[in-house]
Amino acid sequence: MDKVGIGLVGCGTVGSGLVRNLPEANRLLQQRLGVGLEIRAVAVRNPAKKRENLPVQPVADWRSVVSNPSVQIVVELLGGTTESLEVAKAAVAAGKPLVTANKALLAERGAELIPLAQKARVPIYFEASVAGGIPVLKALREGLVANQLLGLHGIINGTCNYILSRMAEEGSDFSSALQQAKELGYAEADDRLDVDGIDAAHKAAILCLLAYGFLPPFPKVPVEGIRNLSAQDVSFARQLGYAIKLLAVVRPVGPERVEVRVSPTLIPARHPMASVHGVFNAVGLVGNLSGPVQFTGRGAGPDATSSALLADLGEAARHLQDKSPGPVLPSGGEKIRLIEPGDSVGRFYVRFEVRDQPGVLAQIAGIFGAEKIGISSVLQPEGHGADSVPLVFLLEAARESALQKAIAAVQKLALNRAPARVLRVEDLA
């Protein structure tokens, strides 16, 4: 049977991994799906750069790749949201299925791109955009398709998980853990997308699209990264029986409302997610029929990402050969909205810095009580000896707006010495 022609737009870390892994994967795709793939055109920014294993001479003009008549599937591996959107639109206009690993494109420009693809009936495959080698989108799209999803949470940024693992295991502060991550190639020179939680939020938005047919408006997704996390909070969390992870949460809250957010979050140290260390990713979800399901694996890197891209390419090629329309993009979430941030209900960790004097604990407990916020644990470490001491509360479930009111009241007290540190707590029960 004739091979299916692939056009690669972008051939950097991920693209060169795909090129390297294609020959061996082709044998398996042929055996298992009855399809073969052939790279027939490649666009890169700098075609003069020496590259290994490329079967064709690359060009700088990506439009010539998309319009090349021997290219049947376009693979976008540029990154970013501007030129990649043009590539995606050009593929859709040409009626060629698009395969992409670009989470920023889908999360930030999906609202523009997806309706175009739906109207033109051109499938978009994006397994590689979330959690690298973990086939979580396929699981949502296929294996769990008959479930109502009661909630989903994930450690979906390997760079942050590596940094948090170093902080927990070695007591390092954030900057030295970040430096280590950069030296090992786990963090980019420009660390903002990873460390500030934006990359995880892109993936959370895509998970929400798959789970609820609703792509949240990206600027409204609450995102907090790990840049301001202190070694002290990691240590206090451990003393309370928790680990801190950058956690993405996607869950329905009442009719036609979902909560999507990314934040450093305390999770029980005994939960399997707390044992996901280093650059590994994990996604947990609860289906009404399946019950809890958890996936763990490599979330990035050329090989793990190739695994997802090649699976998508195999599926796309199969649909082309069968002349079937390919997977339908998720829908059905037209009436869904994000909840207002103040309406979020959850448990919280709050660390105050207060004057070391009798009666402080009672005063603060009284303020929480006035807002009907229960306290589950208090940690008041000894030996600080200074005028100011940390006082840590682990709270029962509370509405975020009530918590903010209580914190504002504590901060007005003369005994308060510094802004409070607030972290989310998820029991993942």
374: left (phi over 0), alpha (psi -120 to 50) or beta: beta
Q: Tell me, residue by residue from 80 to 99, as one string, x for binding to ligand NAP by CB under 6 A and - for no binding.
A: ---x----------------
| Binding segment toward ligand NAP, per CB under 6 A, in 29-37, 78-86, 270-278, 412-420 | 78-86
Q: Decide whether 79 or 264 has the Cβ nearer to ligand NAP.
A: 79
Of 159, 356, 369, nearest to 246 by C-alpha is 159
Token code pair at residue 277: 């260390």
> Of 21, 161, 305, 307, which one interacts with ligand NAP (CB under 6 A)?
305
> Of 4, 6, 14, 107, which one interacts with ligand NAP (CB under 6 A)?
14
Q: Decide whether 99 or 395 has the Cβ nearer to ligand NAP.
A: 99
For residues 372 and 238, give the distance between their C-alpha atoms in angstroms, rounded to a whole number: 26
Token code pair at residue 261: 């957010």
The full DSSP string for 277-334 is: -TTEEEEEEEETTTEEEEEEEE-SSHHHHHHHHHHHHHHHHHHHHHT---PPPP---T
Determine if 50 is a binding residue for ligand NAP (CB under 6 A): no
| Binding segment toward ligand NAP, per CB under 6 A, in 44-52, 107-115, 138-146, 401-409 | 44-52
Active site residue 203: yes
Determine if 102 is a binding residue for ligand NAP (CB under 6 A): yes
Residue numbers 54-73 binding ligand NAP by CB under 6 A = 62
61: left (phi over 0), alpha (psi -120 to 50) or beta: beta
Query: How many C-beta neighbours within 10 Å does residue 384 have?
Result: 12
Helices first, then strands: H and E counts in the chain: 13, 16
Determine if 412 is a binding residue for ligand NAP (CB under 6 A): no
Determine if 278 is a binding residue for ligand NAP (CB under 6 A): no
> Of 6, 75, 77, 267, which one interacts with ligand NAP (CB under 6 A)?
77
Determine if 78 is a binding residue for ligand NAP (CB under 6 A): yes
Q: Which residue type occupies 235?
A: S
The length of the chain in residues reads 429
Determine if 192 is a binding residue for ligand NAP (CB under 6 A): no
Determine if 11 is a binding residue for ligand NAP (CB under 6 A): yes
Measured N-to-C along each axis, helices 174-183 and 158-170 cross at an angle, to the nearest 10 degrees, of: 120
Q: Which of 3, 203, 245, 323 is catalytic?
A: 203
Determine if 46 is a binding residue for ligand NAP (CB under 6 A): yes
Residues forming contacts to ligand NAP in the complex (CB under 6 A) are 10-15, 43-46, 49, 62, 77-79, 83, 101-103, 128, 132, 300-301, 305
- Which residues carry out catalysis? 203
